[in-house]
Structure 1
Amino acid sequence: MKPYLSPLLREQIARQGKYRCACCLGTEELAGMPMTVDHIVPSAAGGPDTEDNLCLACRRCNEFRGTQTHACDPESDETVRLFNPRQQKWNEHFQWSEDGTEIVGKTACGRATITALRMNNPEIMVARRLWVSVGWWPPDD
């Protein structure tokens, strides 16, 4: 049975993540469902339930990630580690497309993470276009 995460630890992780998905930067309000607490190193691979191994994630990013820790960079064909929000800065690995609807990888890690987590899947692209049209997207920080 999976160990219980205390409400205090969950709130601390959420607050540190600005209540957004650590990967796609989506919010609960825009997703229409609660965020999950994701293990950066999956529990199945021995990852602990500690603050430095946990981040907030939307259900979509969490499910697409699954137990992956590495993925192939589509540009270099090199296998690299996925983005680690506890050790890396989002804006060093990702940026928004000019129209604000697509996450663009700036590094091998960013590109591999986008591909592995399907961060620009067709469904989210439709939602982002709608969010942009009403001024809710992209995040400005």
Structure 2
Amino acid sequence: MSHHVPAALRRQVWERAEGLCEYCLLHERDDWVGFQIEHIRSRKHGGRTTLANLALACLDCNMAKGSDLGSVTRTTGVLLPFYHPRRNKWTDHFRLQGHRIQPLTETGEVTCRILGFNARSRLQKRKAIALAGNYPGTEALALLRE
């Protein structure tokens, strides 16, 4: 497929994610900018523009991830892939604790650290959204209960 993501495919990705960033669980309606369709495995690493390789991502997560596939863990120094929204279950790798996203695994740790889940600005954003009664949103709560 081409690098362009056709409108119908974009819609499928958004609907599957129910408007949630598939990494940090922020809902698009609660962010200041629209979310992006991102390649889980970037095109430069052979990723294809297919439903199975696309995820909905907020600008913060997508910009931090870029074309990276993973990172070296702090504890063991082993290169591990990031959390993969199609292959991994979010609650196996992360826990929502107030406004913080706590990693539960080394995969969760590298994803959380590199994508900057708990950067000060992002914690402040989630706190403000929570004060408005929208974080975590109903879609995120349903995913957390699975």
Is 1:46 aligned to 2:53, yes or no?
no
Gap runs ≥5 in structure 2 = none
The 8 Å contact of residues 99 and 126 in structure 2, kept in 1 or not, is answered as yes
The reply to whether residue 102 of structure 1 matches residue 100 of structure 2 is yes
Any conservation in 2 of the 1:37–1:56 contact (CA below 8 Å)? Answer: yes
Secondary structure of the structure 2 residue equivalent to 1:44 = helix
The 8 Å contact of residues 95 and 106 in structure 1, kept in 2 or not, is answered as yes
Question: Cα deviation per residue 1:103-127 (whole Å; 9 max; x = unaligned)?
Answer: 0001111111001111111111111
What's 2:141 paired with? 140
Deviation at 1:32, TM superposition (A): 1.7
Query: Could you tell me whether the CA contact under 8 Å between 2:26 and 2:135 is conserved in 1?
Result: no
Q: Is the 8 A contact 2:71 2:81 kept in 1?
A: yes
Count of matched residue positions in the alignment of Structure 1 and Structure 2? 138
Structure 1 gaps of 5+ residues are: none
- Which whole-Å CA distance do the structure 2 matches of 1:37 and 1:90 have between them? 18
Partner of 1:17: 17
Deviations 1:10-51 (A, max 9, x none): 000111111111100112221121110010110111110011
Q: Classify the secondary structure of the residue corresponding to 2:11.
A: helix
**How far 1:137 sits from its partner (Å)?**
1.3
Per residue, is there more helix in 1 or in 2? 2
SS of 2:61's equivalent? Answer: helix
RMSD: 1.3
Name which structure has the greater RCO, CA cutoff 8 Å, separation 6+: 2
- Give the Cα separation in 1 of the matches to 2:26 and 2:115: 13
Instruction: Using structure 1 for the length normalisation, give the TM-score.
Output: 0.91
The answer (yes or no) to whether the contact 1:64–1:117 under 8 Å persists in 2 is yes
Contact 2:55 / 2:85 at 8 angstroms: preserved in 1? yes
Superposed displacement of residue 3, structure 1:
2.5
In structure 1, what is the Cα distance between the partners aligned to 2:68 and 2:4?
22
TM-score by length of structure 2 reads 0.88
